[in-house]
């Protein structure tokens, strides 16, 4: 892909929200735990080897880097260098000084907690249909034999607004819709500025990466992990990498759960109050020809506390064309990924179970030996 790969005008082609292949219905885990808090049903129990317990070796007390977003968005060269290192080394970082009001973050947490505390009958008014990935339920379940995640989800496509499906936006609590709107608009600001900074560390003009998206789509997934009596037996969200360009996560301040794979070990991301966690998605890995990787991560559960994460995926429009930039390819770095449209890639990813990074194989060039 050449440097001016982004000079594409937004077309009016895709006026329908993207659709997806069927996903199997799963039991509601919050309801399962409410009825019997002590029992962990067979379908959730993982083998020891799948859990791969964390080895807390001394140097793994290290944490993902922290980036000052204020400095970054003012073009501070040192912060840009820190971003480059964070992306190469971890694929994950936390951002502070992002400019979002703390009160807005808390309001979203409160109003979403109220939603999850509603009766199952009330929440099921927004149930995810088998052929969609929006609504209240759980995605990525494709087989009756699949071991399930200890997590319920509410998924909404937020931007562009013309793709919204109002039937999935909860009417109760009354303030939920407006609060999601206000929060997501702030995430859009932060996310698009981050993509501009990524464009700079790619060695491109500031707006090239955003341009090749044609239009940035934004989804919100709220993951609700109830407490689990034997947390060492289950996984909240199976290890995976994100199919997005970037993902921005607001997590609870007082409970750990998100873990990132780092040098073969699982490193928990300790919450920094009011910070946001950012991770690079598969789009960045493909465009950078693997220089910046979308790193595997997972969520674990907790014996006594429920945990909620608010995950915003920013990703390109279906007809955006992806492939490594020419200047990321040379003799030492042969081309690793094929050209593909984002729509093909997203469908391939979302129509399967979460399984580490196996979805990026779809774009890999096998001759490169990986
Ligand atoms: C039509 O409404 C939606 C379209 C797409 C998404 C969405 C975007 C993602 O980037 C994404 C993702 O990266 C992901 O990997 C962790 C994922 O889990 C399988 C998604 O569900 C997902 O969804 C949302 C709404
Ligand atoms: O729960 C979390 O902190 C992370 C969730 C996640 O990785 C996802 O929804 O893609
Ligand atoms: Fe994720």
Q: Is position 4 within any domain?
A: no
Supply the mean pLDDT for the chain.
89
Query: Higher model confidence: residue 64 or residue 349?
Result: 64
Residue 175 lies in a domain: yes
| In the block, residue with structure tokens 């050209």 | 339
Can you give the pLDDT at residue 142? 79
Question: 6 falls in which pLDDT band (50, 70, 90)?
Answer: very low
Burial of 117 (0-12, 13-18, 19+ CB in 10 A): exposed
Whether 275 is in a domain gets the answer: yes
Structural domain total, the chain: 1
pLDDT at 66: 97
Region 320-333 average pLDDT: 96
**Whose Cα sits closest to atom 23 in ligand 1?**
219
pLDDT of residue 353: 65
Q: Is residue 316 classed as helix, strand or coil in its secondary structure?
A: coil
pLDDT on residue 144: 81
Joined together, the tokens standing for residue 337 give: 């990924």
Ligand 2 atom with minimal separation from the 277 CA: 3
Across the chain, which distance is largest between two alpha carbons, in Å?
A: 60
Q: Which of 120, 70, 58 is nearest to 95 (CA)?
A: 70
Residue nearest to atom 8 of ligand 2 (CA): 311
Residue 11's pLDDT band (cuts 50, 70, 90): very low
pLDDT tens digits, 244-282: 999 999 999 999 999 999 988 889 999 999 999 999 999
Q: Which ligand is nearest to the CA of 242?
A: 1
Q: Which residue has the tokens 């659709």?
A: 19
On the question of a cis peptide bond just before residue 160, with omega within 30 degrees of 0, the verdict is: yes
**Coil/strand/helix, residue 321:** strand
Interface predicted TM-score (ipTM) of this complex, two decimals: 0.95
The ligand whose atoms approach the alpha carbon of 314 most closely is 1
**Ligand 1 atom with the shortest distance to the CA of 349:** 19
Provide the β-strand partners of residue 261: 266
Is residue 54 over pLDDT 90? no
Residue whose entry in the numeric block shows the structure tokens 């971890």: 90
Q: Around Cβ 15, how many Cβ atoms within 10 Å? A: 7
For ligand 1, atom 5, which residue shows the shortest CA distance? 219
Note whether residue 15 is domain-resident.
no
For residue 86, being part of any structural domain is answered with yes
Tokens representing 332 are 């030492």
| 20 CB-contact burial (10 Å; exposed 0-12 / middle 13-18 / buried 19+) | middle
For ligand 2, atom 3, name the residue with the nearest CA: 258
In terms of residue numbers, what domain contains 87?
Answer: 40-361
Cα 84 to middle of ligand 1, angstroms: 25
CA separation for the pair 158, 264 (Å, rounded): 35
For residue 332, report the distance from its CA to the centre of ligand 3, in Å: 30
Cα dist from 271 to 24, 268, 360, whole Å: 33, 9, 29
Residue 177 tokens read as: 């819709």
Q: In angstroms, rounded to a whole number, what is the distance separating the alpha carbons of residues 259 and 178?
A: 31
Report which bound ligand comes closest to the CA of 250.
Answer: 2
> Which has more pLDDT, 194 or 2?
194
Q: What is the pLDDT of residues 73-102, one digit of tens each?
A: 999 999 999 999 999 999 999 999 999 999
Top mutation candidate among 138, 244, 247, 347 for ligand 1, by most atoms within 8 Å of CB: 244
Q: Distance (Å, rounded) from C-alpha 197 to C-alpha 176?
A: 31
Percent share of the chain, pLDDT over 70: 86
Task: Kindly state the average pLDDT of the residues 188-206.
Answer: 98
Any idea which of 35-44, 175-184, 253-262, 359-368 has the lowest mean pLDDT? 359-368
Residue 309 included in any domain: yes
CATH number of the domain where residue 158 is located: 2.60.120.330
Q: Name all residues whose Cβ lies below 6 A of ligand 2.
A: 221, 223, 237, 242, 249, 251, 257-258, 297, 299, 309, 311
Determine the Cα–Cα distance for residues 105 and 338; give it in Å rounded to an integer: 39
Q: In this structure, is residue 318 part of a structural domain? A: yes
**In this structure, what DSSP letter does residue 37 have?**
T
On whether the CB atoms of residues 337 and 289 are closer than 8 A, the answer is yes
Q: Contact 315/230 with Cβ under 8 angstroms?
A: no
Is 64 contained in some domain? yes
Q: Is the pLDDT of residue 368 over 60?
A: no
Q: Which pLDDT value is given to residue 10?
A: 29
Residue 326 pLDDT exceeds 80 = yes
Q: Are 218 and 187 in contact (CB under 8 A)?
A: yes
**pLDDT of the residue at 26:** 87
Atom of ligand 1 nearest to the CA of 313: 10
Atom of ligand 2 nearest to the CA of 251: 3
Question: Which ligand 2 atom is the nearest neighbour of the CA of 297?
Answer: 7
Paired tokens of 162: 């013309």
């Amino acid at each position: 892909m050449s440097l001016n790969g982004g000079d594409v005008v937004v077309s009016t082609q895709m006026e329908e929200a993207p659709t997806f292949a069927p996903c199997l219905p799963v039991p509601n885990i919050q309801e399962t735990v409410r009825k019997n808090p002590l029992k962990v049903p067979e379908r959730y129990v993982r083998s020891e080897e799948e859990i791969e317990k964390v080895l807390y070796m001394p140097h793994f007390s290290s944490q993902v880097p922290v980036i000052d977003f204020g400095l970054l968005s003012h073009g501070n060269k040192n912060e840009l260098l820190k971003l480059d290192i964070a992306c190469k080394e971890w694929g994950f970082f936390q951002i502070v000084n992002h400019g979002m009001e703390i009160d807005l973050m808390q309001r979203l947490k409160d109003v979403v907690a109220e939603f999850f505390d509603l009766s199952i009958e009330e929440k099921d008014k927004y149930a995810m249909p088998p052929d969609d990935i929006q609504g209240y339920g759980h995605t990525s379940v494709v087989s009756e034999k699949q071991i399930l995640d200890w997590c319920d989800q509410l998924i909404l496509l937020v931007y562009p607004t013309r793709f919204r499906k109002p039937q999935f936006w909860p009417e109760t609590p009354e303030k939920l819709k407006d609060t999601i709107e206000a929060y997501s608009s702030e995430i859009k600001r932060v996310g698009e500025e981050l993509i501009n900074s990524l464009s700079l560390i790619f060695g491109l003009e500031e707006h090239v990466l955003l341009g090749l998206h044609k239009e940035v789509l934004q989804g919100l997934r709220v993951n609700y992990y109830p407490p689990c009596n034997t947390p060492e037996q289950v996984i909240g969200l199976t290890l995976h990498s994100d199919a997005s360009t970037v993902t921005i996560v607001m997590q609870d301040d007082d409970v750990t759960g998100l873990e990132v794979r780092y040098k073969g070990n699982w490193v928990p991301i300790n919450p920094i109050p009011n910070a946001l966690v950012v991770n690079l998605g598969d789009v960045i890995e493909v465009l950078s020809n693997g220089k910046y990787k979308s790193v595997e991560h997972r969520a674990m559960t907790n014996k006594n506390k429920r945990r909620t994460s608010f995950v915003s995926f920013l990703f390109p429009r279906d007809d955006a064309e992806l492939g490594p930039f020419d200047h990321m390819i040379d003799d030492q770095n042969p081309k690793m990924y094929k050209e593909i449209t984002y729509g093909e890639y997203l469908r391939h990813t979302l129509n399967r179970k979460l399984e580490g990074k196996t979805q990026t194989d779809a774009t890999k060039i096998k001759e490169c030996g990986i």
